[in-house]
Structure 1
Amino acid sequence: MTVLHEDGLYRHLVFADPAGGFYRFDLVTWPHNLMLRGDGFSFGDFRLRIPAEWELSFQDFSWEFLFACHAVIWGIRQYDAAKAASVPSQREAGAL
Protein backbone atom coordinates (compact mmCIF):
# COMPACT_ATOMS: atom_id res chain seq x y z
CA MET A 1 0.00 0.00 0.00
CA THR A 2 1.23 3.46 -0.90
CA VAL A 3 -0.49 6.59 0.37
CA LEU A 4 -0.33 9.20 -2.38
CA HIS A 5 -2.55 11.72 -0.59
CA GLU A 6 -4.05 11.89 2.88
CA ASP A 7 -5.89 14.95 4.12
CA GLY A 8 -8.89 14.16 6.29
CA LEU A 9 -11.57 12.61 4.09
CA TYR A 10 -9.46 13.18 0.97
CA ARG A 11 -7.31 10.09 0.39
CA HIS A 12 -5.61 8.38 -2.51
CA LEU A 13 -4.30 4.90 -1.71
CA VAL A 14 -2.54 2.60 -4.18
CA PHE A 15 -2.44 -1.15 -3.67
CA ALA A 16 0.13 -2.85 -5.87
CA ASP A 17 2.85 -5.45 -5.76
CA PRO A 18 6.13 -3.48 -5.76
CA ALA A 19 7.61 -6.17 -8.04
CA GLY A 20 4.84 -5.54 -10.57
CA GLY A 21 1.95 -7.70 -11.52
CA PHE A 22 -1.72 -7.62 -12.29
CA TYR A 23 -4.60 -6.38 -10.11
CA ARG A 24 -3.15 -3.07 -9.04
CA PHE A 25 -5.91 -0.80 -7.76
CA ASP A 26 -6.45 2.65 -6.27
CA LEU A 27 -8.93 3.72 -3.62
CA VAL A 28 -9.72 7.43 -3.81
CA THR A 29 -12.02 9.08 -1.28
CA TRP A 30 -13.47 12.53 -0.84
CA PRO A 31 -16.54 13.62 1.16
CA HIS A 32 -19.48 11.28 0.44
CA ASN A 33 -17.58 9.50 -2.36
CA LEU A 34 -15.44 6.46 -2.98
CA MET A 35 -13.76 5.63 -6.25
CA LEU A 36 -12.13 2.31 -7.02
CA ARG A 37 -10.08 2.00 -10.16
CA GLY A 38 -7.67 -0.64 -11.24
CA ASP A 39 -6.39 -2.80 -14.03
CA GLY A 40 -9.35 -2.99 -16.37
CA PHE A 41 -12.10 -1.79 -14.03
CA SER A 42 -13.47 1.31 -12.38
CA PHE A 43 -16.35 1.77 -9.95
CA GLY A 44 -17.48 5.10 -8.63
CA ASP A 45 -20.97 4.65 -7.21
CA PHE A 46 -21.37 2.10 -4.44
CA ARG A 47 -24.80 3.32 -3.40
CA LEU A 48 -27.04 0.37 -4.13
CA ARG A 49 -30.75 0.11 -4.70
CA ILE A 50 -31.25 -3.12 -2.76
CA PRO A 51 -34.54 -4.98 -3.24
CA ALA A 52 -36.55 -6.14 -0.22
CA GLU A 53 -35.40 -9.73 -0.81
CA TRP A 54 -31.68 -8.81 -0.81
CA GLU A 55 -30.76 -11.56 1.65
CA LEU A 56 -32.14 -14.29 -0.62
CA SER A 57 -29.79 -13.92 -3.56
CA PHE A 58 -26.77 -12.02 -4.80
CA GLN A 59 -27.24 -13.17 -8.38
CA ASP A 60 -28.13 -9.67 -9.55
CA PHE A 61 -24.58 -8.45 -8.95
CA SER A 62 -21.83 -9.08 -11.49
CA TRP A 63 -18.63 -10.79 -10.42
CA GLU A 64 -16.81 -7.56 -11.27
CA PHE A 65 -18.93 -5.59 -8.80
CA LEU A 66 -18.49 -8.23 -6.09
CA PHE A 67 -14.73 -8.26 -6.76
CA ALA A 68 -14.69 -4.49 -6.37
CA CYS A 69 -16.56 -4.71 -3.05
CA HIS A 70 -14.03 -7.24 -1.75
CA ALA A 71 -11.17 -5.00 -2.93
CA VAL A 72 -12.63 -2.04 -1.04
CA ILE A 73 -13.04 -4.05 2.17
CA TRP A 74 -9.53 -5.50 1.88
CA GLY A 75 -8.04 -2.08 1.16
CA ILE A 76 -9.76 -0.47 4.14
CA ARG A 77 -8.47 -3.24 6.42
CA GLN A 78 -4.93 -2.74 5.11
CA TYR A 79 -5.18 1.02 5.64
CA ASP A 80 -6.61 0.65 9.17
CA ALA A 81 -3.89 -1.86 10.12
CA ALA A 82 -1.15 0.44 8.81
CA LYS A 83 -2.62 3.42 10.70
CA ALA A 84 -2.88 1.39 13.92
CA ALA A 85 0.73 0.23 13.57
CA SER A 86 1.97 3.79 13.03
CA VAL A 87 0.34 5.18 16.19
CA PRO A 88 2.44 4.44 19.29
CA SER A 89 0.63 2.68 22.10
CA GLN A 90 0.02 4.59 25.33
CA ARG A 91 2.80 2.59 27.01
CA GLU A 92 5.27 3.51 24.24
CA ALA A 93 4.14 7.16 24.28
CA GLY A 94 4.70 7.33 28.07
CA ALA A 95 8.21 5.90 27.70
CA LEU A 96 9.23 8.65 25.26
Structure 2
Amino acid sequence: MSADPEIAARFARDTARHQLTVLHADGLYRHLRFASRVTGYSEYWFGLITMPYALVFKGDGEAFVFTIDATRDMEAAEEEHVGSVLDLTFTFSDTWEWQLRDYDWWFLWACHAIVAGIARYDRLTGYGLGPLAAPNAVAS
Protein backbone atom coordinates (compact mmCIF):
# COMPACT_ATOMS: atom_id res chain seq x y z
CA MET A 1 0.00 0.00 0.00
CA SER A 2 2.48 2.63 1.15
CA ALA A 3 5.94 3.19 -0.22
CA ASP A 4 6.87 4.01 3.37
CA PRO A 5 7.05 0.73 5.35
CA GLU A 6 7.10 2.75 8.58
CA ILE A 7 3.41 3.62 8.14
CA ALA A 8 2.45 -0.04 7.67
CA ALA A 9 4.48 -1.03 10.73
CA ARG A 10 3.00 1.80 12.78
CA PHE A 11 -0.54 0.84 11.76
CA ALA A 12 0.12 -2.77 12.81
CA ARG A 13 1.42 -1.63 16.22
CA ASP A 14 -1.34 0.94 16.77
CA THR A 15 -4.14 -1.53 16.03
CA ALA A 16 -2.72 -4.80 17.37
CA ARG A 17 -5.37 -5.01 20.12
CA HIS A 18 -8.27 -3.55 18.15
CA GLN A 19 -11.56 -5.37 18.04
CA LEU A 20 -14.34 -4.98 15.50
CA THR A 21 -17.80 -3.86 16.57
CA VAL A 22 -20.56 -3.78 13.94
CA LEU A 23 -22.76 -0.84 14.93
CA HIS A 24 -25.00 -1.09 11.86
CA ALA A 25 -25.18 -3.49 8.90
CA ASP A 26 -28.00 -3.16 6.41
CA GLY A 27 -26.94 -4.02 2.87
CA LEU A 28 -24.65 -1.27 1.58
CA TYR A 29 -25.20 0.80 4.73
CA ARG A 30 -22.64 -0.21 7.37
CA HIS A 31 -21.03 1.36 10.41
CA LEU A 32 -18.00 -0.48 11.79
CA ARG A 33 -15.86 0.56 14.77
CA PHE A 34 -12.35 -0.71 15.47
CA ALA A 35 -10.95 -0.02 18.94
CA SER A 36 -9.05 -1.74 21.71
CA ARG A 37 -11.90 -0.98 24.12
CA VAL A 38 -15.26 -2.33 23.08
CA THR A 39 -17.29 -0.02 25.32
CA GLY A 40 -15.96 3.13 23.75
CA TYR A 41 -13.16 4.76 21.90
CA SER A 42 -9.49 4.17 22.51
CA GLU A 43 -6.18 5.41 21.24
CA TYR A 44 -6.05 5.16 17.44
CA TRP A 45 -9.64 3.96 17.16
CA PHE A 46 -11.25 4.25 13.76
CA GLY A 47 -14.63 3.77 12.16
CA LEU A 48 -15.72 2.91 8.65
CA ILE A 49 -19.13 3.96 7.36
CA THR A 50 -20.38 2.83 3.97
CA MET A 51 -23.31 3.88 1.84
CA PRO A 52 -23.94 3.68 -1.91
CA TYR A 53 -21.01 5.25 -3.79
CA ALA A 54 -19.28 6.46 -0.62
CA LEU A 55 -16.97 5.39 2.21
CA VAL A 56 -16.25 7.47 5.30
CA PHE A 57 -13.18 6.97 7.47
CA LYS A 58 -13.18 8.65 10.88
CA GLY A 59 -10.96 8.19 13.86
CA ASP A 60 -8.52 9.76 16.27
CA GLY A 61 -7.31 12.21 13.61
CA GLU A 62 -8.89 13.73 10.55
CA ALA A 63 -11.85 12.15 8.80
CA PHE A 64 -11.89 11.35 5.08
CA VAL A 65 -14.78 10.83 2.68
CA PHE A 66 -14.27 8.86 -0.52
CA THR A 67 -16.94 9.01 -3.20
CA ILE A 68 -17.44 8.02 -6.80
CA ASP A 69 -19.75 9.58 -9.34
CA ALA A 70 -22.64 7.32 -10.14
CA THR A 71 -23.16 6.39 -13.77
CA ARG A 72 -26.61 6.63 -15.30
CA ASP A 73 -27.27 2.93 -14.91
CA MET A 74 -26.12 3.08 -11.27
CA GLU A 75 -28.45 6.02 -10.61
CA ALA A 76 -31.35 4.28 -12.32
CA ALA A 77 -30.81 1.15 -10.21
CA GLU A 78 -30.62 3.22 -7.02
CA GLU A 79 -33.77 5.21 -7.80
CA GLU A 80 -35.54 1.94 -8.42
CA HIS A 81 -34.56 0.72 -4.94
CA VAL A 82 -34.06 3.86 -2.84
CA GLY A 83 -35.28 7.07 -4.46
CA SER A 84 -33.55 10.15 -5.85
CA VAL A 85 -30.07 11.15 -4.71
CA LEU A 86 -29.14 14.66 -3.58
CA ASP A 87 -25.77 15.92 -4.88
CA LEU A 88 -23.84 17.85 -2.21
CA THR A 89 -20.65 18.41 -4.22
CA PHE A 90 -18.43 21.43 -3.51
CA THR A 91 -15.12 22.74 -4.86
CA PHE A 92 -12.10 24.51 -3.39
CA SER A 93 -10.84 27.81 -4.78
CA ASP A 94 -7.73 29.93 -4.20
CA THR A 95 -5.51 26.91 -3.70
CA TRP A 96 -2.54 28.20 -5.66
CA GLU A 97 -0.42 28.57 -2.51
CA TRP A 98 -0.90 24.96 -1.39
CA GLN A 99 2.27 22.88 -1.71
CA LEU A 100 0.96 19.36 -2.01
CA ARG A 101 3.95 17.09 -2.56
CA ASP A 102 3.25 14.00 -0.51
CA TYR A 103 0.53 12.34 1.51
CA ASP A 104 0.24 13.05 5.22
CA TRP A 105 1.10 10.10 7.49
CA TRP A 106 -2.44 10.05 8.89
CA PHE A 107 -3.96 9.76 5.42
CA LEU A 108 -1.70 6.78 4.67
CA TRP A 109 -2.57 5.30 8.08
CA ALA A 110 -6.26 5.73 7.19
CA CYS A 111 -5.73 3.93 3.87
CA HIS A 112 -4.21 0.98 5.75
CA ALA A 113 -7.18 1.08 8.15
CA ILE A 114 -9.67 0.94 5.28
CA VAL A 115 -8.00 -2.07 3.65
CA ALA A 116 -7.53 -3.93 6.96
CA GLY A 117 -11.01 -3.05 8.24
CA ILE A 118 -12.79 -4.24 5.12
CA ALA A 119 -10.73 -7.43 5.06
CA ARG A 120 -11.56 -8.15 8.71
CA TYR A 121 -15.28 -7.51 8.16
CA ASP A 122 -15.27 -9.72 5.04
CA ARG A 123 -13.55 -12.56 6.94
CA LEU A 124 -15.99 -12.24 9.81
CA THR A 125 -19.12 -12.25 7.66
CA GLY A 126 -17.69 -14.85 5.25
CA TYR A 127 -17.40 -17.34 8.06
CA GLY A 128 -20.88 -16.53 9.37
CA LEU A 129 -19.50 -14.91 12.53
CA GLY A 130 -21.27 -11.57 12.11
CA PRO A 131 -23.30 -11.91 15.33
CA LEU A 132 -20.04 -12.02 17.31
CA ALA A 133 -19.32 -8.43 16.29
CA ALA A 134 -22.68 -7.02 17.41
CA PRO A 135 -22.40 -4.12 19.88
CA ASN A 136 -22.80 -6.51 22.81
CA ALA A 137 -20.28 -9.05 21.47
CA VAL A 138 -16.71 -8.78 20.26
CA ALA A 139 -14.68 -10.35 17.47
CA SER A 140 -10.93 -10.10 17.09
Do they fold alike, i.e. is TM over 0.5?
yes
**Could you tell me how far apart the structure 1 residues matched to 2:66 and 2:105 are?**
16
Task: Give the corresponding residue for 1:5.
Answer: 24
Tell me if the contact between 2:49 and 2:57 (Cα under 8 Å) persists in the aligned partners: yes
Count of aligned pairs between the two proteins: 76
Q: In structure 1, list runs of 5 or more residues that go unmatched.
A: 48-58, 88-96
For residues 12-91 of structure 1, the aligned pairs below 5 Å read 12-18=31-37, 21-45=42-66, 60-86=102-128
**Could you tell me how far apart the structure 2 residues matched to 1:77 and 1:65 are?**
18
**Could you tell me how far apart the structure 2 residues matched to 1:9 and 1:46 are?**
14
CA shift digits 1:57-81 (9 cap, x unpaired): xx62221211111000000011011
Task: Give the counterpart letter for 1:69 in structure 2.
Answer: C
Q: In structure 2, list runs of 5 or more residues that go unmatched.
A: 1-19, 69-100, 130-140
Q: Structure 2 length normalisation: TM-score?
A: 0.49
Q: Percentage identity across aligned positions?
A: 46
TM superposition outliers: structure 1 runs of 4+ over 4 Å: none
- State the Cα distance separating 1:21 from its structure 2 match: 3.4
- State the Cα distance separating 1:82 from its structure 2 match: 0.5
Task: Give the corresponding residue for 1:90.
Answer: none
Q: Structure 1 length normalisation: TM-score?
A: 0.70
